[in-house]
Chains A and B, each alone.
Chain A
Amino acid sequence: MALDLTFIVRTLIFPGFTFLLVLVLFFDWFERKVAARFQNRMGPTYTGPLGILQPIADYIKLFSKEDITPKQTNKLLFVAAPILAFSLFVFALFYIPIDGSNVVLNSSFEGDLILVLLLISLANFGIFLSGWASLNPYSGIGATRILTQFLGYDIPLIILAIGPAFLAKSLSLVNITASQTLPFALLIPWSCVLFIIVLQAELEKDPFDIPHAETEIVGGYETEYSGRKLAFIKLSEDFQFLIGAALVTELFLGGSHGPVLFGMPELWHITWFIVKTLGVAFFLEYIGNVAARMRIDQVVHGNWKLLIPLSLLSLALTVIIEPLLRSVIG
């Protein structure tokens, strides 16, 4: 692949790194405003109109704060782990089609769904390492909780993600979105609901936000981080949220496909993608606000005793229904 202008523009600016960064900050603002309105208060208001510049202000503040490293940690691991996690998340996002095709044109292949899921797992392992490398009992407890929760819930996530791939007869995200004449959320709704619940656990949001439980273990894995490294960790969490919501959009809601009314189709594809992902984010935030936090042993039991059997059942149901749906829809 020649290093021509299209490649550079697409990777770095649109829909590459810069666009993704702006999108992530926008999602951060949206999440906070929605959460505030659920709690009957105002959310960010002063910075910029409707407080839309608040996430930028927060990151600028974080970058300008002092960066403290504990004396006894392994410095390389302490510094590299957040950066590793962050880059893996961004890399995973490059394989999710935003405007009809991937960021790097023609780079999608059969199996890139599996690649995305693998990259997310590796990135979470990076987060675990960052908690482990700061020699603090709070971080240690938070780091082990991440592993327990994430690795446990990865299994139903993969099982449930196979469902739409089965219906579309392909493991490539581009093909999965292209074959959704009717969104899969309508065809296999049980899969969609279960996927969203498992996603809440993967993203460590209420009711599964144990690794973040500030009232129990102060900051969890991010206790010892400050300044720029903390900014990286927070950015990785935000990117993970975007990836999760984007996965739901791609797998169940038809990705960026939607009616094109006038003008450039590219623009409409991106708009539809953003609108659908915002809807998913709204719904995830809603679930997060109506439940209390569960204890770690309840989360683990819920996973092994409830969610894994249910996801296997849902996959079996999808396989059984598939010929019926194919004959009805085509």
Chain B
Amino acid sequence: MERFENAVEVLKNNLEDAILEFRIPKPRKAYILLKPERHRDAISLLLKHIENAELSTITGTDLGNEIELNYHMACGGTVTLKNRVPREKPVIRTITDILPGANLYEREVFDLLGVIFDGHPNLKRLMLPENWRKGEYPLRRDWEPHANQEIGSTSEETSQTESAGELDEAGSIINVVVGPQHPVLHEPERFSFKVDGETVVDVEMRLGYVHRGIEKAAERMMFFQDVFLVERICGICNAAHTTCFCQAVEDIGNIETPPRALYLRTIIHELNRVHSHLLLLGVAGHLLGFEALFQHVWRDREPIMDIIERITGNRLMSGFNTIGGVRRDLGPNIVEKARKNVEEVRKRAKFYNKVFEEDPTLRLRTEGVGILSKSDALKLCVTGPVARGSGIDLDVRKDDPYAAYGEIPFNVVSYKECDTWARLMVRAEEVLESLDIIDYALSHIPSGRLRVRVQRKQPEGEAVSRVEAPRGELIYYVKSDGTAYPYRVKVRSPTLANLVAFPEIIKGSYIADIPAVIGSFDPCFSCTDRMVFLDTQNGKSWHWSLEEVNNSKNRIGDLNGS
């Protein structure tokens, strides 16, 4: 908490002349509008004076005749530095020289909104395909998807795949392409590794294969419908996404969530976390060739899914949170069953902790592999277990408490070894911590209402909200213009933050270390790419806008049609 106050002090004292607007509408959330091109000074100040300050994301919003760029800095709370550029000439200086971790965020804003970052080392497309037409920026307010839109020839895309497996001029460097289809990836991405024998020399990543257009789609649906949309960004961390979004909207609308709802949100959030970490430990076993561990861990997360099914009605997609509270209640027999299952899982989790600590073959594969030093981790702005495995004590639940975390005692797990083993151990121990939190919350739930009645329209305003998703820090920025539909919804999921560090780690390692390192990052690419809804079939490109999809002639009711 003191870090936030320090940050505000530092900015007020040193940048008096540059601040145009300064608001702190809610505790630990500051919004500062700066004069043009002064964002670099502000960010350098914060990095110098505040310990463990990181950039969460960069949001671009189309305000009509200006494009507003928000730099969200995480330092105890969230300090949002705003900067506006005119729409006809959207140029701004980059910050990648002071903070390399901003690389991917600036590319995303360039790709989707057309803002040019002066001095960026590699300003290429991030999410949209290479043959997207120039000048079309989907996130601008005047861009509408229209039917039978030509997106250009597909030959440029295919020419990229031909370079797989060619020998370099030096003769010994082979280009190995991993993805979009590969057994090690659960979702499609493309990593292009240059290998020399068994050592990786360089890697190039191409994201955007699961880009679905969620941020644009969220502007077409009402606030309470958007909760279901953001829930489906990621299956495993769905409670985190809905919690974050609902918190942001509740901040805008000044809605007071009842305490019982906060505790229930926390319980489902932690159940999600246990499930996700157990899933990852099993997947790590599978990637390392330890099939028996994989099957055993996946068997042992069934009791958790049973509890989630009893509480929310589905084993995975909880559909539990809504704006103003939660939708269902916890009966007394559910609490009993939940406690029993938690006890069962706790015994097994302790055993798996022992396995990961002691098993010699696992330690052989993960110790000393994929080192990410603490200073590198801070510069690249990684979050979550990846940061905590490198000794950085960052956890949103402790730095910026939300839901019921202010009242529940727990420890933040971090390891100093900075390697793959440390990242896996962080998750294994966090399972035990989460089980303790669930127990405490189940015994101390206050009684009361479940939800408050919320109107469809929300007042004008904006809000930033951060939660600790299982993979790291998840941040949402929601802006409302007084109607029932949001003006802008921006999501930055943790895997995008951590992916920046991946090329740095993998250079100089063996090919055999690639699955171990990817596994320790726990990538969830569905969370990472979230835009575009283009379909190309048979060379002819067509797609439907939302209205056309809903058009009755495309429904199943008319069986003579498609």
Tell whether any CB of A sits under 8 Å from a CB of B in the complex: yes
**A-contact bits for B172-199, CB 8 A (1 contact / 0 none):** 0011100000111000000000000010
CB contact under 8 A between A292 and B289, given known A137-B165, A216-B511, A218-B182 = yes
A295 touches B183 (CB 8 A): no
Q: Which residues of B contact A136 (CB under 8 A)?
A: 165
CA distance A290 to B182 in the complex (A): 26
- Which stretch in B89-97, B230-238, B468-476, B512-520 binds the other chain? B512-520
Is A297 in contact with chain B by the CB < 8 A criterion? yes
A38 touches B183 (CB 8 A): no
Other-chain residue from A40, A135, A217, A291 in contact with B511 (beta carbon distance below 8 A): A217
CB contact under 8 A between A39 and B165, given known A210-B512, A215-B515, A292-B359 = no
CB of B50, distance to nearest CB on chain A (Å):
40
Is A305 in contact with chain B by the CB < 8 A criterion? no
Closest Cβ neighbor of B360 among chain A residues? A291
Is A53 in contact with chain B by the CB < 8 A criterion? no
Other-chain residue from B174, B182, B510 in contact with A137 (beta carbon distance below 8 A): B174
B285 touches A292 (CB 8 A): yes
Is B18 in contact with chain A by the CB < 8 A criterion? no
A39 touches B184 (CB 8 A): no
Q: Which residues of B contact A213 (CB under 8 A)?
A: 289, 512
CB contact under 8 A between A292 and B515, given known A297-B198, A297-B510 = no
- Which stretch in B122-130, B290-298, B371-379 binds the other chain? B290-298
Interface size on A, residues (CB 8 A): 31
Interface size on B, residues (CB 8 A): 32
CB contact under 8 A between A289 and B289, given known A137-B165, A141-B511, A216-B184 = no
CA distance A292 to B364 in the complex (A): 9
Q: Which residues of A contact B505 (CB under 8 A)?
A: none
Is B299 in contact with chain A by the CB < 8 A criterion? yes
Is A67 in contact with chain B by the CB < 8 A criterion? no
CA distance A106 to B146 in the complex (A): 82
CB of A320, distance to nearest CB on chain B (Å):
31
Is A77 in contact with chain B by the CB < 8 A criterion? no
Is B361 in contact with chain A by the CB < 8 A criterion? yes
Question: 18 A-B pairs, CB-CB below 8 angstroms?
Answer: A40-B299, A137-B176, A141-B176, A206-B289, A210-B512, A213-B289, A214-B183, A215-B515, A216-B512, A290-B292, A291-B290, A292-B359, A292-B361, A293-B288, A294-B364, A295-B364, A295-B510, A295-B512
- Other CB < 8 Å A-B pairs besides A213-B512, A292-B293, 20 of them? A39-B295, A39-B296, A140-B174, A210-B512, A215-B184, A215-B287, A215-B515, A216-B511, A216-B512, A218-B183, A289-B291, A291-B290, A292-B361, A292-B362, A292-B364, A294-B364, A294-B365, A295-B365, A295-B510, A295-B512
CB-based closest 5 A-B pairs: A293-B289, A39-B295, A292-B290, A292-B361, A289-B292
